[in-house]
Structure 1
């Protein structure tokens, strides 16, 4: 006997989804019955990604724009409501990595990383939670953190602190959003093969050696964990961070030490 797709009838927003982990999250959500607003700061990339996932354009709507811009965040929530009539899931996946030595790290880079990695997620969660509260049927919010929020990594002090802060945000929102039936969690990827990391010819080899499970993650590995946390099966899980790293944080070897 056939069963309905797990996300049938649900509506999601996923930021930073033009490629990589975010793209795979959207692809799996649509495949499992959801309608999704797919955001990327690169509008053309968002359009291409949405078309690749859903050529008919019925279940995946591109939203090109800066996920850290509050008016744009409000517009994404409005689009979900107007296009699909509801909002059930929000995945804050947008983020940037600006490497730099602590002693010389530029002020502009510091505030841009905070704006994108923290501001975009904080205000997306805020706007979505307001809508979900009015909707009265609960919902799920998920942040994409990182193993760098758990273990120090060279030249990533600012990035790492923002990812740790996202996990604290997930905990903090338990107090404020649980009364509305909204659960909030984070997924923390380790080394992952994406279009960006695969530009480094040594990436897969290096992280296969450093990862106890013998390989870096794929985008699908991270998306599977993310979709569980926003699924009906995880509605009683909230304030948690799930590390998906093949065991790396248990041993934490640095690529700079080998």
Structure 2
């Protein structure tokens, strides 16, 4: 990419970002065709295409195939956040310990909010996940349901940003957690401990005890990480 190409790309990206920030391009709006944007901004279609590709990687826009569907502004940033955390783990700028410390701080508050804001449908869904966890002995399935449990708590807290952050961090930790679980000589014992802790969190949320829900969640995440060897005592 030449200096002129880089400037054109930056110009197109700044235009789109400013339009989104100013509310001129709200969630759900379809972007104008690349050719029209290029003419409007006085840059090449390639510069516009690169700007859109960058926004897509950030989870800001999505491109759908088919006539009339095009590229739209989207609000689903979970995958982009998760990808960012996984990449930072891979290049060692963020550690598993960092993510766990963030989880403890974030999800303790999330559980407290869930206790205050849950609705019957959300609480019932949370209990169904726990029932499925009790019924499975398969490690990978249990790990997947464990992720669903934590994300579901964030969902009933009714704060979309917290939900996205919780899902992204938990997804980034999926492989380290699974790998550490596989290495555990007594995983069935650990599974029982997790199930007991999950029930304690659920019970506190169900009785709308925000303090207990927060305390149980923070203690659960910390103790599980220590048992897995992913966090020091």
Q: Which of 1 and 2 has higher RCO (CA within 8 Å, sep 6+)?
A: 2
Q: Compute the TM-score of the two structures, normalised by the length of structure 1.
A: 0.24
